[in-house]
Amino acid sequence: MNPMKKSARLTGLLYLIFVITGIYGMFYIPSQINMKGDAVTTAQNILSNEFLFRTSIINDIISNTLWVFLALALYRMFKQVNERQAKLLVALVIVQIPAVIFMETFNIASLMIFKGEILKTFELAQRQDLAMLFLRLGDYGVLILEAFWGLWLIPLAILVYRSKFLPRFLGVWLIITGVFYVILCFTSIMFPHYKDMVLHNVFALPAELGEVAFMLWLLIMGTKEQSFDSARNQI
């Protein structure tokens, strides 16, 4: 197999595992643990599913570690197309990691408070309210990160579009996905009542599938039989 195609498929496999961890954390865990109710109900839900809640923390750590390695793999693949854009791609991923660390720290703190392991001198209602505050900070952290989930896709989209070893429609699709996430972030913060309108409109699902299409193409098709040098010549 062409080394470039082999590298692309390995990158696609890494992307697939990253997507699976994202689905587990963003869809499966919320479907099993309802953390959107009042403090008492949320405390009961988390404590009755403590192990699952802990797996969500570990899952996020694994997911973001994979993301870093994925960004580096994509850098290696595209650096001959445009090294500046490839570096920007990596930077927009790396900058998110400290925020994720803080958010998982908030989740751990919430669990400790709900279990009564800390702040024992506080009243139960006070502890639950404080734990809910940490959970809500994590939720708003996700809203902010949505902008970066979109921004890192823009240099990736440009690289895909300018390369000759991947179809251009994937680059266009990735740009649409990136813009969608940025719009979702700003709508959620500035006009929260319209978030569901953006998230559930008829164009949302096709827009969100840009990354999946890119991942599947790398995993199944790989790249065209072409060297990195010929990809660079088009710039």
pLDDT, mean of each 10-residue run, the chain (235 residues) = 84 96 94 88 94 97 96 96 97 96 95 92 92 93 94 97 95 96 94 86 87 96 66 46
CA distance 125 to 204: 39
- pLDDT, residue 38, reads 86
Cα→Cα distances 183→19, 89, 188, 205, Å: 21, 19, 8, 14
Domain boundaries, the chain: 3-222
- pLDDT, residue 36, reads 83
- pLDDT, residue 109, reads 95
- pLDDT, residue 231, reads 47
- pLDDT, residue 201, reads 82
User: Token pair of 167, please?
Assistant: 């179809």
CA distance 185 to 4: 35
- pLDDT, residue 199, reads 82
- pLDDT, residue 93, reads 97
Q: Do 140 and 123 touch, CB atoms closer than 8 A?
A: no
- pLDDT, residue 176, reads 96
Helices (H), the chain: 3-23, 29-32, 39-48, 50-78, 83-94, 97-114, 124-151, 153-162, 168-190, 195-199, 204-208, 210-216, 228-232
